[in-house]
Amino acid sequence: MANSNSKTAFENMKYEIAREVGVNLKQGYNGDLAARDAGRIGGTIVKKVFQSYTGTK
C-alpha cells in the first residue's frame, strides 16, 4: 500500500504532465476524457518514470 506522500507526488506528476501535453484534467471524475488523451498522460508518465530509472533523457 502506498503512503500518502507517494500518492500526492503521483497526483502532482499526473496533473503536471496533463498540462504539458495540453490535456485539461480536472480534480475528481474525468470520465469524459478521451481515451487518446488518457493514453497521452499515461504514456508520458511511463516514459518519465523509465527515464528516471535508467538515467536517460
What is the predicted pLDDT for the residue at 6?
82
1 pLDDT above the threshold of 70: no
What is the predicted pLDDT for the residue at 2?
56
What is the predicted pLDDT for the residue at 4?
74
Taking CA atoms, 46 is separated from 14, 32, 41, 57, in Å, by 11, 22, 9, 13
Digit-coded pLDDT (tens) for 10-40 = 899 999 999 999 999 999 899 999 999 999 9
Rg (CA), the chain: 12
pTM for this model (two decimals): 0.79
